[in-house]
Structure 1
């Protein structure tokens, strides 16, 4: 187990704060935290300001229910370097001790995420429809980093183009967490101050179910249409 090429850890939820009781050399290679640094502490020391809270909640719920779970966490190494951590957590019952431990397997997927983000950016340009309207189709996951990139790109584009309307099409999204929904609300406010209207299209029931009720209420202030074609027809 100590020679594994991936990070491996074990926690004991029967102890206060579910501390780590073992980490392998791969954990040190991945995070910079040695056995002595990590053991006896809850693994939240890997978290930071950019950590996606929904993934943390999913892990906590899986531990509560004694279920396995796989998430992608935005974590931080000991030296402060951020990285994307693919974490798989598996409960293991030890009959001789009559208790359950949790084994964590960590893998650095930062390069894969960067590649996917780059492909996504290239496949979702802001497309001008006429001198008043442009469309931004979003495809894949709306991650925290991508939300920030979208806000920056759309705001800059609106200032340069002086468009009256920017349509953000969500029909290609497969996942949108609460923080990202909040980013759309913030983008709506920014564009409104610039004299540009944000219009949403392709809001699926799946995306609505992933969003908290108070955010749904705020999103309802943004004009929406079933699809881009319907929006353009109504706006021209």
Structure 2
């Protein structure tokens, strides 16, 4: 009988040791208004992810209906990232009319890049203005054109690479020059339209990490 009582006492003690952290963690989820079942808290405790940082992120996502599941947030936490910082960045981007998903911001977060600064760079408008009067058309007459464009910097480009606007300007000048030199430019308005739609098109700007807002070419 004594052996049974001793066994029960030892088993109870082991059970208390195992459950103490999940219980306190579960209480913490209730305080933060995160909806995490106790069974999930137990598994998270075993994986050592039942931490205030992750609980706060789960509550944040649930309370704002961000449709980002616990599995996704926990996986990012296990990878060494800050899911809460990622969620804050998504919310901040929304205030700037920039749509980002968790996959995008989590990759940047793992690279230890400041998300808010990257979003601020993304929010800036890049302007490119060129006037060139040294272009000969097919009739060997000099043409003058004026190019004006406004662009938004793509998020990943703002995070990982600097925009070399001078290099881009030179590339634009070369492309416009070649088209005017080798194409019929009798209709200047149509020529400008063709250049924007087929040469300086969306694919071209995507390769530069830019999204066109407006583009205009005036050929004289």
TM-score by length of 1: 0.24
Larger Rg: 2
Point out which structure has higher relative CO (alpha carbons under 8 A, 6+ apart). Answer: 2
Say which structure is richer in helix.
2
